[in-house]
């Protein structure tokens, strides 16, 4: 059974690049959520092996770190594995402080280290 990934708040171009990279390396189903509310609804109704949250959630301009905080503080969702997609180290550190796994930036999408980071959740 393929693993399941939720991609939250990425623009169409970035979402397609993430999809390409994931499909090139893993057997994973990818579901898209454009807003924080949509992501929370999907997380309550489906099981995901990993959630990738963009730094700025495109559909509602919400903050990715804030969504991570909401997910990690919810007893029903707190065990969800999450990574922030951001090139900014300070946002990565803030996400980790809220309970996220170390994420990656869009400029790192095709690096072997990014594939290895995802392997733990998608293999």
Looking at the predicted structure, is the pLDDT value of residue 120 above 90? yes
What's the mean per-residue pLDDT of the chain?
A: 96
18, 57, 90, 99 from 24: Cα distances, Å: 10, 25, 29, 28
Q: Between 1 and 117, whose confidence is greater?
A: 117
Query: What are the structural domains of the chain?
Result: 3-122 (3.40.50.2300)
CA dist 58 and 98 (Å) reads 21
Write down the pTM of the prediction.
Answer: 0.96
Distant-in-sequence, close-in-space partners of 118: CB < 8 Å, separation ≥ 6 = 22, 25, 26, 50, 83
pLDDT of residue 116: 97
Count of beta carbons in the 10 Å neighbourhood of residue 24 = 9
Nearest Cα to Cα of residue 22 among 120, 87, 119? 119
Looking at the predicted structure, is the pLDDT value of residue 85 above 90? yes
Q: What value, to the nearest 5°, has the Cα angle with vertex 15 and ends 110 and 30?
A: 95
Residue 78: pLDDT band (50, 70, 90) is very high
Looking at the predicted structure, is the pLDDT value of residue 1 above 90? no
CA dist 31 and 39 (Å) reads 10
| pLDDT tens column, 16-73 | 999 999 999 999 999 999 999 999 999 999 999 999 999 999 989 899 999 999 999 9
């Amino acid at each position: 059974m393929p693993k399941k990934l939720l991609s939250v708040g990425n623009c169409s171009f970035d979402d397609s690049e993430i999809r390409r990279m994931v499909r090139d390396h893993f057997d994973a189903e990818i579901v898209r959520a454009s807003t924080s509310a949509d992501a929370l609804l999907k997380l309550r109704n489906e099981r995901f092996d990993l959630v990738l949250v963009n730094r700025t959630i495109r559909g509602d301009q919400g903050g990715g770190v804030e969504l991570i905080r909401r997910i990690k503080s919810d007893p029903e969702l707190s065990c969800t594995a999450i990574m922030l997609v951001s090139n900014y180290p300070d946002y990565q550190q803030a996400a980790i402080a809220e309970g996220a796994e170390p994420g990656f930036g869009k400029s790192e999408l095709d690096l072997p280290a990014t594939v290895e980071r995802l392997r733990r959740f998608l293999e």
